[in-house]
Structure 1
Amino acid sequence: MDTISELQDFVKNGYKHYIPHISIDSAIFGYHDHQLKILLSNYKALDGYCLPGGYIKRTETLDEAANRIVMERTGLKDLYLQQYKSFGDPDRIKWSEIDFENFLKKIGVEPIKDSWLMDQTISVGYYALTDFSLVTPQGDFMSDFCAWFNINEIPPLLFDHDQMVKDALHTLRIQLYYYPIAEKLLPQKFTLTEIHSVYETLLGKKLDIRNFPKKLVFLGLIKKLSEKRNIGPHRAPFLYKFDIKTYNKALEIGTTLS
């Protein structure tokens, strides 16, 4: 939506094209070079940040809507995307504490009383995983901009989004032990040190450098290549790559790294 008139129509008539009372909020995690970040949307009119989100078109499935919303914020398609929890407490969005009409004025929209946007809303939480160096964050038509934040430096979030982030990160870390979801964060060929660093960063804890990569090899998730990478004098570690057949099977039925 590029014009005020389109935004005005969304606030007034959006329920005709989107399903009211249910939205999607996405915790988009980004990894790069030993750093874990999360993408947040800024709303100057509300003086705060929240997770990127949006409503579900009447023609979309939940997964289709989540993929669209994530693509609009990151510019990337086919990210690893997982539904993790729904949030439906009656008072999760306290409109009594938010001057919605004043918010509309601040973003240039004529105030509308009893807008469909103000009703009680259930949010379906998804998390996505990507390499944040590949992303050009893009705001939506109501937010001012999107930006990456280090996972340990997140500002207080609007609504119940602090809890959403905690639950999303908790789910991500649990699923890392059962599904090899870190594949898209690595080059096609990588060293054991590189994959070890990805898992350590995502899990937020130290892993045994001697045993953890061996577990991945033992499970058949990664396989050793004959190639080496020269990284300095007398330092040329072997390269590895994911075994796609085993990887896809593990994504489907799960495995265990513990």
Structure 2
Amino acid sequence: MGLKDKKIGIIGTGKMGSSLIHGIINSKIVDSSNVYASDIYDLSLEKLHEELGIKVSTDNKQTVMNSDIIILAVKPQIIRTVLAGIKDDVTENKLLISIAAGVPISEIDDELNSGTKLIRVMPNIAATVGEASSAICPGENTTNEDVDVTLEIFKTVGTARVIPEYLMDAFTGVSGSGPAFIFPVIEAMADGAVYEGLDRKNALTFAAQTVLGAAKMVLETENHPAELKDMVTSPGGTTIRGVHELEEHGIRSAFMDAVIESSRRSKELGKKD
């Protein structure tokens, strides 16, 4: 089952919702006339309508009734209110996808009618530039086709993989929080280059592109990072000197601890009412 003839609705047009809409339209997986969006803010809706030609409304029920697939791109604090307003319009033939951070499938399911098809997805902030990591967790009423179309949608803004929901905290540690671990690395590398005389603008560009290029090598070659590192570190050279300095400062344990602590915090937050 493809998406070509499907109608997609997005409730919430903040950063993540708008990024998904742009990804869907730019990838041409559906025509813009088959994309619906709703929000309480008229301004963001009008901008999307004028820029992309999608159908917009301030009425969530209208978006749901017109759509085969509904993406909930709302803040976790208001998801129950939103669900209460659309519950009876999400019929068994529709697929509901939630990207509300930290809200498990069971809590969303409790607010819906029995038999509703539900998938939980967690993209990260890089969706705003089309390079997200997205974890997909299917609910019990979903089919393989539902999972496939969800993957197709979220691959328009980056990489998407299916994982069991109990691993969502681990995903949060490495990908949800991960960009915040890398931004200081880019800044620090640029600072080092500035210290050595490079101007700030060029230093930031070179540092960011270096991180982007290294990540792309891991993804595209599928070689182990250690193997790729060995390709750059010649005996007695400049790189091995720098690698030694990083090891002296415990770079590996620092990054491991950052991911582990973020995952632990995600578990703690998930236990709260």
Verify same fold: TM over 0.5: no
Greater fraction of residues in helix = 2
TM-score by length of 1: 0.27
The higher relative CO (CA closer than 8 Å, separation ≥ 6) is in 1
